[in-house]
């Protein structure tokens, strides 16, 4: 039993990551529903709030500090424990060895260690709700001095903030271990014939993500340790002299709050690509399989991923146009930011190119993949506003930004996860998920996320600042009541519909129709082994790869697909 | 089939919502008008790309049902080059166009006769300090900071230069005059944001950050803190009051008189 829980099998670890992310996303969604409820009915007494937070919501009314701590936890859970965890730790762990013809990851025990470190990080984070003062209220970006001076800056900035930093440090360590494992596995364990340019784009996505993680999480870990030192070691990395809080002069000097922003966003921007690159690879695959056409411009897709990974490290300053950083830096970062938009545009064009002459099979995985493309365009294109420092003079920190990053980094990435779940579930459990429930889930969710996040953009046009726990103080925000009411009610609907997905997932595990070995008629290696695959994946057989990953509708071929393992006819 | 139509409908509704009304407050100076026109150019560019991409996506979904068999193509290098160059040129051009507007705020020289005002942000309120007739600010001493006795800046009582410094809770400026606002923080990061000026700047403790503007239209405009600063972030409000020049002069005289009376032994 213990052996099964602390397994070193990459497939078990992949599922463990997947369910950790599923748990986190459910908590994160519930927290967002609480926020949306409070925003439109700030004076409504909610018994549930009082039950969960007897002090923070005494009498059922959420205090501003409780609102902000829920917001901080929502962001932290979603960014780290969902968007970083499910695509890479979950699907990556399960399918990377299968797709390259390996029996396991390069370092199976290291793999288990990184999962359990992530698990500990999650427990520590959730623990922040239960310490005196509650969870931190500084947002997932944890800007000092707010995050560095302790409880005097607000409840939750004491013990809760320490828990947050500890959790992120653990998470960073886990991600570093994980990325070393992924990089080594891709470089060392590919089956004979699996050249780099025969790797499925999913593998390219996991590989580039691992490289980004290795470089980015190291910096986040260092920044977190510096912040802890400022809080407990008497240092002043992020704290200047002359700070006065509650009429008390603090004994710090010589530091800069902006230094944190540089370190944080040096991680934080690449983090966006950590969340989306595995999804990009997966979407390319699903579009190709279900339109029975090769991925249009495979080499350009690989190149675009590598360029995104590289340029992703040169654009962090676009989060800081308004920070007080040198205006010359802002202008330089602006131009670099515009260039990182180019490879994303290339990917979109190539997805359309893949679909263009295709015979589309609109199964649920394909619907989510098509929805992904639509949302990726909708969320990505507004980056052209935010990449201009002049536009940030108004739009920075408004709901326009909230709408932008939720569409591109949140919902688009989540659509890729849904697509991945519907696509790979048959391989993981040997059963099919229910297509009818899946379609209802898709259509309501797709319509709903547009309904939630597009109106946020216009609230941003009106100047609505984000991270406000209610909108009562400002006259100009009264105009937006109808917009926010619409957003909240739509979000309740979308949140409720996710229960259909959870039901479908668990019901199908036991009651779904039996799945064939290769139900989608795909060509990659995971579809050549039984569902679910045995412990050593290929039963000890030597895997030989003869073809690229996307040979569909090849003229002269016997069927409309050529498996990667199919021997070439001489 | 349904999805293709749905994507078209969502794209049109999105465009409709953006264009349904002018969501922005009125612009009250030249910079704000330049911002608005650059915004419209960007909206046109991105809106065009958005609608074209969604139209194409909807189209392939609608058409694909009728197809007997998929065609075969592994890509087209010339097309890759064309759309790479085209998007690069469009995106970088958008950035280049707006650089002038940003530079106008942060890099253009401040006229000598500009009104100088200091802003102080703290959890969760604003204070403003005018140097008075001598044009000089008094010394500050962090140990003398005391909100209860009306000394948020920490004006040093021993420095006579500070005797004519006016400290207020709202920002008053004369219409049509250049203003150089020096932003000062003393606890956590805040942000000075006036919608009608299309201007936003973080206030960072340990830094003195200049922000220059000119407001042409008299009126009262809300200032909203736009960087998370703690549990009272949503309450951190003050107003910018743009006054006709003669009214502003009268207000300044009154404020100085009151200051003198308060200091009289």
Distance of CA A551 to the CA centre of its chain: 30
User: What pLDDT digit, counting tens, does each position of B136-195 carry?
Assistant: 999 999 999 998 888 999 999 999 999 999 999 999 999 999 999 999 999 999 999 999
- Of B6, B128, B84, give the one whose Cα is nearest residue A349: B84
The CA distance from A376 to B144, in Å, is 54
On the question of pLDDT at A2 being above 80, the answer is no
Cβ contact (<8 Å) for A245 and B226?
no
Set of chain A residues whose Cβ sits within 8 Å of the Cβ of B76: 296-297, 353
Interface of B with A in 177-236 (CB under 8 A): 186-189, 191, 193, 195, 198-202, 204-207, 209, 222, 224-235
pLDDT confidence band for A284 (50 / 70 / 90): very high
Cβ contact (<8 Å) for B206 and A552?
no
Residues in chain B: 265
The answer, yes or no, to whether ipTM is higher than 0.90 is yes
Cβ contact (<8 Å) for A394 and B200?
yes
- Of A113, A105, A91, give the one whose Cα is nearest residue A10: A105
Q: Does B62 touch chain A (CB under 8 A)?
A: no
CA atoms within 13 A on the CB side of A115: 29
- Of A424, A388, A425, A383, give the one whose Cα is nearest residue A405: A383
The CA distance from B95 to B109, in Å, is 22
Q: Please give the interface size between A and B, counted as residue pairs whose CB atoms are below 8 Å apart.
A: 328
Cβ contact (<8 Å) for B25 and A352?
no
| Mean pLDDT across B34-56 | 96
Residue A34 neighbours by CB under 8 Å, 6+ apart: A49, A62, A70
Distance from CA of B193 to the nearest CA of A (A): 8
On the question of pLDDT at A570 being above 70, the answer is no
Distances (CA, A) of A49 to A34, A60, A426, B21: 8, 6, 39, 37
Pairing status of strand B178-185 against strand B115-122: parallel
User: What pLDDT digit, counting tens, does each position of A314-345 carry?
Assistant: 999 999 999 999 999 999 999 999 999 899 99
Cβ contact (<8 Å) for B231 and A65?
yes
Query: What is the pTM assigned to this prediction?
Result: 0.97
pLDDT confidence band for A569 (50 / 70 / 90): low
Distances (CA, A) of A250 to A145, B173, B186: 11, 34, 10
User: What pLDDT digit, counting tens, does each position of A34-47 carry?
Assistant: 999 999 999 999 99
Q: Does B256 touch chain A (CB under 8 A)?
A: no
Set of chain B residues whose Cβ sits within 8 Å of the Cβ of A370: 3, 7, 57, 61
């Amino acid at each position: 039993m213990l052996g099964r829980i602390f397994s070193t099998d990459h497939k078990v670890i992949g599922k463990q990551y997947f369910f950790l992310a599923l748990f986190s996303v459910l908590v994160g969604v519930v927290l967002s529903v609480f926020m949306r409820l409070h925003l439109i009915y700030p004076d409504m007494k909610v018994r549930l709030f009082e039950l969960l937070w007897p002090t923070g919501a005494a009498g059922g009314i959420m205090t501003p500090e409780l609102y902000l701590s829920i917001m901080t936890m929502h962001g932290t859970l979603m960014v780290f424990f969902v968007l970083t965890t499910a695509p890479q730790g979950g699907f990556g762990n399960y399918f990377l060895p299968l797709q390259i013809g390996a029996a396991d990851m390069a370092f199976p025990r290291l793999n288990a260690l990184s999962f359990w470190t992530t698990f500990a990080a999650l427990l520590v984070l959730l623990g922040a709700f239960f310490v005196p003062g509650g969870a931190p209220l500084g947002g997932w970006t944890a800007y000092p001095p707010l995050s560095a001076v302790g409880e005097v800056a607000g409840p939750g900035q004491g013990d809760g903030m320490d828990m947050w930093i500890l959790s992120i440090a653990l998470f960073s360590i886990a991600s570093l271990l994980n990325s070393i494992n992924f990089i080594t596995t891709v470089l060392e364990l590919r089956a004979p014939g699996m050249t780099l340019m025969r790797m499925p784009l999913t593998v390219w996505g996991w590989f580039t993500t691992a490289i980004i993680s290795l470089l980015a999480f190291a910096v986040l870990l260092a920044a977190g340790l510096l912040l802890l030192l400022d809080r407990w070691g008497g240092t002043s990395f992020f704290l200047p002299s002359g700070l006065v809080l509650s009429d008390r002069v603090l004994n710090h000097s010589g530091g800069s709050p902006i230094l944190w922003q540089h370190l944080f966003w040096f991680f934080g921007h690449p983090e966006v690509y950590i969340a989306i690159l595995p999804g990009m690879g997966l979407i390319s695959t699903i579009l190709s399989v279900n339109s029975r056409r090769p991925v249009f411009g495979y080499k350009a897709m690989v190149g675009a991923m590598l360029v995104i990974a590289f340029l992703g490290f040169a654009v962090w300053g676009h989060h800081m146009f308004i920070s007080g950083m040198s205006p010359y830096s802002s202008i330089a970062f602006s131009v670099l930011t515009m260039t990182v938009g180019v490879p994303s545009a290339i990917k979109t064009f190539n997805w359309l190119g893949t679909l263009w002459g295709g015979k589309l099979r609109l199964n649920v995985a394909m619907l989510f993949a098509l929805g992904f493309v639509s949302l990726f365009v909708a969320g990505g294109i507004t980056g052209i506003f935010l990449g201009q420092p002049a536009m940030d003079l108004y739009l920075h920190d408004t709901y326009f930004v909230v709408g932008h990053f939720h569409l591109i980094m949140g919902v688009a990435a989540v659509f890729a996860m849904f697509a991945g779940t519907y696509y790979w579930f048959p391989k993981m459990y040997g059963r099919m998920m229910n297509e009818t429930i899946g379609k209802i889930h898709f259509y309501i969710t797709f319509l709903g996320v547009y309904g939630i996040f597009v109106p946020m953009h216009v609230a941003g046009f009106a100047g609505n600042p984000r991270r406000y726990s209610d909108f009562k103080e400002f006259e100009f925000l009264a105009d937006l009541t109808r917009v926010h009411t619409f957003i909240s009610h739509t979000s309740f609907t979308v949140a409720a519909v996710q229960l259909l997905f959870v039901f479908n997932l668990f019901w199908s595990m036991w009651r779904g129709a039996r799945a064939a070995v290769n139900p989608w008629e795909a060509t990659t290696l995971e579809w050549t082994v039984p569902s679910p695959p045995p412990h050593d994946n290929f039963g000890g057989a030597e895997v030989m790869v003869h073809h690229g990953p996307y040979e569909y509708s090849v003229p002269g071929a016997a069927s409309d697909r050529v498996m990667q393992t199919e021997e070439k006819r001489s | 089939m349904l999805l293709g139509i749905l994507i078209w409908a969502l794209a049109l509704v999105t465009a409709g919502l953006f264009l349904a009304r002018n969501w922005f407050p009125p612009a009250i100076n030249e910079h704000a008008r330049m911002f608005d026109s650059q915004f419209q150019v960007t909206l046109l560019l991105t809106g065009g790309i958005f609608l074209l991409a969604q139209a194409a996506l909807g189209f392939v979904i609608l058409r694909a049902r009728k197809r007997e068999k998929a065609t075969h193509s592994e890509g087209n290098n010339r097309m890759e080059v064309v759309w790479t160059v085209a998007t690069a040129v469009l995106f970088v051009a958008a950035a280049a166009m707006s650089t002038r507007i940003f530079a106008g705020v942060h890099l253009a020289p401040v006229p000598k006769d500009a009104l100088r005002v200091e802003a102080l942000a703290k959890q969760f309120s604003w204070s403003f300090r005018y140097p008075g007739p001598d044009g000089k600010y008094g010394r500050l001493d962090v140990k003398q900071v005391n909100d209860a006795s009306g000394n948020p800046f920490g004006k040093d009582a021993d420095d006579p230069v500070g005797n004519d410094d006016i400290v207020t809770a709202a920002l008053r400026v004369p219409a049509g005059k250049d203003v150089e606002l020096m932003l000062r923080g003393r606890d956590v990061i805040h942000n000075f944001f006036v919608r009608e000026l299309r201007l936003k700047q973080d206030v960072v403790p340990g830094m003195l950050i200049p922000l220059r503007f000119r407001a042409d239209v008299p009126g009262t405009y809300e200032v909203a803190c736009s960087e998370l600063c703690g549990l009272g972030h949503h309450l951190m409000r003050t107003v910018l009051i743009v006054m006709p020049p003669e009214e502003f002069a009268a207000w300044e005289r009154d404020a100085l008189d009151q200051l003198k009376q308060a200091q009289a032994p």
